[in-house]
């Protein structure tokens, strides 16, 4: 015998209506064709018995309690593959973002929560708690190693807080902490093309876990700190490598 079907009685979704009111054209959230293209390319499909199509259909059927308690919303990477695959360009990631925001902050995943709070505690905005002075030291040390081992790059420079540089470069703080050699390829590219760039010591960490935590206030705090660092140096462009 097959498994028994689960009958869901449709009702009005307060959550879906709220998100639709926030978005231009309602995020196209009422235009689902149930074609499944969103789920076909989603890396989170099948986790916790959920996928983008099922999530959206549950919203449309007014199953707010199920939607707002599903741990699947934390599996989504916000990659937007579902939006690009969808013939109706439905903004499912924004729907998921608002579902995350509905969780009590203390109940959100500890890893993301801890990384966000760590970034708020230091001027570097590093989710790993990396200090700016350590970043400066590691970058300088790696640069010297490259120059000694690879004479072709002896003219390559890495500057910090250089006023008037055209580009302000952010760096994921994982690299200087655990994989410092991973910074070098980008330095070489910038040097080869003659790019006028600098790092800063304020807001230099490229990652922002507060966005993934769906904490708008914390997200904005970190972004504004980074923007101020760029503006204080008078840089024309901001390159965020995250």
pLDDT in tens, 159-211: 999 999 999 999 999 999 999 999 999 999 999 999 999 999 999 999 999 99
Residue 7 — left, alpha, or beta (φ > 0 → left; ψ -120 to 50 → alpha)?
beta
Q: Which domain holds residue 138?
A: 110-239
Residues 134 and 216 in one domain: yes
Dmax (CA) for the chain in angstroms is 74
**Residue 167, strand partner residues:** 197, 237
How many distinct structural domains can be found in the chain?
2
pLDDT of residue 242: 74
Residues 124 and 50 in one domain: no
Q: What are the tens digits of pLDDT across the range 14-55? A: 888 888 888 888 888 888 888 999 999 899 999 999 999 999
Looking at 87, 103, 119, the residue that finishes a domain is: 103
Residues 98 and 125 in one domain: no
Q: How far apart are CA 67 and CA 50, in angstroms?
A: 10
Tell me if 138 is assigned to some domain. yes
The answer, yes or no, to whether residue 98 has pLDDT greater than 70, is yes
The answer, yes or no, to whether residue 3 has pLDDT greater than 90, is no
Residues 169 and 233 in one domain: yes
Residues 99 and 155 in one domain: no
Q: What are the tens digits of pLDDT across the range 124-163? A: 999 999 999 999 999 999 999 999 999 999 999 999 999 9
Looking at 65, 81, 103, the residue that finishes a domain is: 103
């Amino acid at each position: 015998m097959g498994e028994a079907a689960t009958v869901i009685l449709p009702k009005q979704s307060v959550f879906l209506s709220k998100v639709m009111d926030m978005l231009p054209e309602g995020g196209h959230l009422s235009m689902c064709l149930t074609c499944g293209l969103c789920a076909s390319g989603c890396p989170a499909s099948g986790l916790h018995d959920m996928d983008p199509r099922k999530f959206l259909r549950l919203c449309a059927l007014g199953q707010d309690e199920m939607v707002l308690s599903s741990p699947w919303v934390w599996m989504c990477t916000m990659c937007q593959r579902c939006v690009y695959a969808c013939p109706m360009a439905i903004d499912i990631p924004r729907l998921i973002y608002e579902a995350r925001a509905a969780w009590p902050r203390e109940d959100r995943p500890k890893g993301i929560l801890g990384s966000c709070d760590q970034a708020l505690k230091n001027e570097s905005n590093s989710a790993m708690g990396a200090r700016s002075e350590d970043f400066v030291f590691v970058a300088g040390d790696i640069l010297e190693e490259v120059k000694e081992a690879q004479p072709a790059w002896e003219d390559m420079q890495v500057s910090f807080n250089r006023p008037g540089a055209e580009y302000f470069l952010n760096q994921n703080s994982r690299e200087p902490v655990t994989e410092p050699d991973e910074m070098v390829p980008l330095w070489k590219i910038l040097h080869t093309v003659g790019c006028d760039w600098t790092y800063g010591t304020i807001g230099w960490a490229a990652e922002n876990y507060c966005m993934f935590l769906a904490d708008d206030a914390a997200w904005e705090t970190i972004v504004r700190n980074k923007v101020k660092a760029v503006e204080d140096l008078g840089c024309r462009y901001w390159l965020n490598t995250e």
